[in-house]
Amino acid sequence: MGIFDKYRGIAARREVVRALGIDPFAVRLEQVLSPTRAVIDGRETILLGTNNYLGLTFEPACVEAACAASRRFGTGTTGSRIANGTYGLHRELEEAFARFLNRRACIVFTTGYQANLAMLAGLAGPRDILLVDADSHASIWDGCRLSGAKVIRFRHNDPEDLDRRLRRLAGEGECRLIVVEGLYSMRGDVAPLRDFIEVKKRHDAHLFVDEAHSFGVYGANGRGVAEAQGVEKDVDFIAGTFSKSLGAVGGFGASDDPDFDLLRYCARPYMFTASPSPATMASTRAALERIAADRGLLARLWRNARHLHAGLVDLGLGVCAPPSPVVAVRLPDERSAVWAWNRLLVAGVYVNLALPPGTPEGLCLLRCSVSAAHEPAEIDAALSRFAELARELRAAA
């Protein structure tokens, strides 16, 4: 038996998708012209699926900070902090995050994926119970698995289901950690944190919120959904990423717990990987400063999010959630989703094709993410392509 034989089902499915046009999982951005434009297949394309919420990837201060840090500290750190040393840049960035978040302590990680892995595998152990929202990201499930804890899945955004399960689990596990996301990246819906916090308090549990898609996007200061809902003090642990609103690659975790720093000595995805590069730390810090100084970014992001959402609703397309920087359009099946995605790309609009099992409840989605950097005319141009698509879908039906 060949070592890849177990993936024959995946290979067959890949061939079906490829036969319908461009391979959606191997899109090549030949040139990136701006946070909202790239050249794909020789064609200038509007980027509507990059998670570049604040459009900071080309921010001059961030680019210059990255270049200066590379010149001064080199291109890489060549090892883990625990074995090979911490740069001043690591500590300065952690302090900057802690200040921004109003948290006692912050730890930075090499990727957002590793932030969730490290936080969950570090916080929970084999004698603990993790209660995880059903729609959670793969990094959360993988972190749960790495922790060795008992993992219980509860219905998406359903505090009553969580409460029922915690009642059944009374007396079990040394610690119970509830795991949710702020903004869910597929459907674009938001967690009802206040209700989850009530349940948490009732059962003496802890609460972890992954603000990967909501940091820089929600709350008056961009601290996330917990800030927007006025519940930050009751959230015990938060995690996030540099790769969305901060325009880099990396992740962070933060808490007010006085023992939080212990994660540096027990979270394997922190201990056994190379630390973030000087360029990453410098550009991320510059991006943080930009977010703190310019509330206009948030305003432009939300203007564009509402613009796109309203336009898609007007076209009669099935939008999954109320307005947010993630606007997902539901298609009836995989074949039509792949076809529609191809039509948009050929027409010069890049969105994400999201298919099961990467989506909840078997949804087939055209997932759009909006940026503060989009000009209203770009949103209108994308909507006109969606209008053509909607006409074609109706005709096909």
Partner 1 sequence: MTAVPDEVELFSTIRALLSAHNSAGIEIRRDTDLAADLSIDSVAAMDLVMEIEERYDLDIPVNEISELRTVGDLVDLVRRQIEERRG
Which chain residues interact with partner 1 by CB under 8 A? 9, 132, 134, 141, 144-145, 150-153, 155, 165, 168-169, 356-357, 359-362
Nearer to partner 1, 120 or 281 (CB): 120
The least distance separating partner 1 from the CB of residue 173, rounded to whole angstroms, comes to: 11
Cα-based torsion angle of the residue sequence 73, 78, 83, 88 in order, rounded to the nearest 10 degrees: 20
Nearer to partner 1, 83 or 134 (CB): 134
Rounded Cα gap, residues 303 and 333, in angstroms: 31
CB of 134 to partner 1, least distance (A): 7
- Residue 130 or 349 with smaller CB distance to partner 1: 130
Q: In angstroms, give the least distance from the CB of 270 to partner 1.
A: 23
Of 141 and 302, CB closest to partner 1 = 141
234 CB-near residues (< 8 Å, 6+ apart): 193, 197, 200, 201, 207
Task: Give residue 390's Cα distance to chain centre.
Answer: 28
Q: What's the min distance (Å) between Cβ of 320 and partner 1?
A: 16
The residue whose two tokens read 């099961």 is 356
β-strand pairing of 176-181 with 206-210? parallel
- 112-123 and 138-147 helices cross at what angle (nearest 10)? 30
Residue 66, token pair as written in the block? 């990255």
- Provide the minimum distance between the beta carbon of 126 and partner 1 in the complex, in angstroms, as a whole number: 10
Of 103 and 165, CB closest to partner 1? 165
Nearest to partner 1 of 37, 164 (CB atom): 164
Using an 8 Å Cβ cutoff, are 267 and 118 in contact?
yes
Minimum distance between the CB of residue 391 and partner 1, rounded to whole angstroms?
Answer: 30
Q: How many helices (H) and strands (E) does the chain have?
A: 14, 15
